Structure 1
């Protein structure tokens, strides 16, 4: 009888242990999805060199900074820079694997080691600095608001009883949530979804980086950027996993070294000027040598 009771107790203990292990695994998986504490070790600079490929996270739907063109090729200001990184680090501008990210997943892609660098219009903020390491800036930006010309939004107060479209995980979402909680936000995961919502009239306006809404309004008749600069002027910079010091140092040295050739002005001329024309002064956007 005692042996039978002991066997039952042992079975119960094993079952409880198995359930606890499953619960811990599920918790870790959920944490990874949410961009929590679950983390994989980033590849070092030497490991990237040995592999001969660098994985860079970019947008696929944020024209003209990172987007897929009609031929299925990824293009834009960030892409131009990413190819130069691959060329200078690995000797071939095609030695880059582009990984498409959404705004809200940029931190998680670094934490999980899915990419070596995030180069997706990543605004430097104090909150993000706690999770990733930013390199020197290569661009500066503020927020803008685009809306239909027939009902143009020229002041934030006009949105008090309206709906503002934003993309999750962006500085626009943070700014309006904190500064203007009275404004109803309609949130989307992807930029294309947000623009479609604006075109469909599901919101009164859309806010994101002013550089992008200016470009979008130029290509979409009937829409205009009524608020061209909102909030602070922020830095846009590459990011690596926190503690990936050698890769971070290499990136900083790369950005500093390109100042003499005015690399980012050339990037502007190649990828942004065809979109903006004379509507945007490159000095309002471009940062050379990491100096704001």
Structure 2
């Protein structure tokens, strides 16, 4: 989940911002301003401008696996990066014709409004407040929180077992004013231990000082991919929120084109590419869309 404020004005992130695998990766990277970004000309769609420019400008991050992070060679990778390259492939028949503008999460909306980027593909949660400033594409992931357990040697093997155990269960998570509230939404009687970082929480789980690690579901799935057989998901997720890309308002041609690419990646011609990304980053096997009548309109 990304940064956002609740009705009381409190920041609702900081709990699971970085997965334990990549919490320290990419430190010190700032906003990189691209050369040649131009404001949208009245009457001309950004789609046409991008085609004329010859490359796509994408705002994203570099420190949050499995969404966007650097590999051992300093190359960006992750689900958001795959989606950006899919857009470039459909624009130019070349997935490399994309320039990534590295930015913090607080720069996502400003970079769009000031025309520094064409699109933000950066694990951005859809909210009604943000929709007053940007236009969201169709969602490509449903995030939430879940519980990571030890596959071997742990006290519990499922959410149902933990719920039945009541106050005997201890759940660890990154220190946050909402930590106890979030845990108790799923496990009202559980004890809660707060840690200063995702790494420290994961170490506590490995040392069996806590029974479960509450994390963003995508971060938990990534950890399961990195250490096969070490961890399991408890089988229950809650606090759902949708991830989508965002574009500057007022250009229905550009928004419709991006939505067409995303939809056909989920349901049509680029499904194999999309399914391979879901498998690689989340360990999720997507079912092949049924042929015949389009089931999304049923």
Distance 1:217 1:74, change over 3 A: same
- For 2:199, the equivalent position in structure 1 comes to 196
Matching residue within 134, 137, 140 for 1:135: 137
Question: Is the partner of 2:257 in helix, strand or coil?
Answer: helix
> RMSD of the TM alignment (CA)?
4.5
Provide the aligned length of Structure 1 versus Structure 2.
Answer: 234
Q: Which residue does the alignment assign to 1:255?
A: 262
- Normalised to the residue count of structure 1, the TM-score between the two structures is 0.60
Distance 1:222 1:143, change over 3 A: same
8 Å Cα contact 1:42-1:241 kept in structure 2: no
Stretches of structure 1 that go unaligned for 5 or more consecutive residues are 1-39, 189-193
Determine if contact 2:79/2:281 at 8 Å carries over to the other structure. Answer: no
**Residue 73 of structure 1 pairs with residue 75 of structure 2:** yes
- Would the alpha carbon gap of residues 75 and 129 (structure 1) be closer, same or farther in structure 2, given more than 3 Å must change? same
Partner residue, 2:101 = 99
Name structure 2 gaps, 5 residues minimum.
Answer: 1-36, 41-45, 289-293
Say which SS state the counterpart of residue 121 (structure 1) adopts.
strand
SS in 2 for 1:88: helix
Q: Provide the residue aligned with 2:279 in structure 1.
A: 273
Classify the secondary structure of the residue corresponding to 1:122: strand
C-alpha contact 1:132 1:240 (8 A) present in aligned 2 = yes
Residue 129 of structure 2 aligns to a residue whose secondary structure is helix
Asked if the contact 2:174–2:194 (Cα under 8 Å) also holds between the matched residues in 1, the reply is yes
Deviation at 1:134, TM superposition (A): 0.5
Partner of 1:238: 245
- Residue in structure 2 matched with residue 30 of structure 1 by the alignment: none
Q: Check conservation: 1:137, 1:291, Cα contact below 8 A.
A: no
Match of 1:122 in 2: 124
Structure 1 CA distance for aligned equivalents of residues 131 and 274 of structure 2: 26
* Residue aligning to 1:164: 173
Deviation for aligned residue 1:73 = 1.7
Q: d(CA) in 2 for partners of 1:185 and 1:51?
A: 52
Partner SS for 1:238: strand
Kept after mapping to 1: 8 A contact 2:139/2:244: yes
Provide the C-alpha distance between the structure 2 equivalents of 1:246 and 1:112, rounded to a whole number of angstroms.
Answer: 19
- Residue 6 (structure 1) aligns with: none
1:225 aligns with 2:225: no
The 1-side partners of 2:193 and 2:49 are apart by 43
- Change in Cα spacing, 1:273 to 1:126, as seen in structure 2 (3 Å) is same
Per-residue deviation, 1:230: 0.9
Structure 1 residue aligned with 2:14: none
Match of 1:216 in 2: 223
**Stretch deviating more after TM superposition (234-243 or 103-112):** 103-112
* d(CA) in 2 for partners of 1:162, 1:258: 37
What is the SS of the residue equivalent to 2:123?
Answer: coil
Q: Which moved more, 1:100-109 or 1:239-248?
A: 100-109
Q: For structure 1, which segment, 108-117 or 131-140, has the greater mean C-alpha deviation from structure 2 after superposition?
A: 108-117
Distance 2:108 2:175 in 1: 16
Question: How many angstroms apart in 2 are the aligned matches of 1:112 and 1:146?
Answer: 40
Contact 2:121 2:246 in 1 (8 A): yes
TM-score when normalising by structure 2: 0.59
Distance across 2 between alignment mates of 1:159 and 1:103: 37
Quick one: distance in 2 between partners of 1:143 and 1:95? 35
Q: Answer 1 or 2: which has greater helix percent.
A: 1
Aligned pairs for 1:141-156 within 5 A: 141-146=143-148, 150=154, 154=159
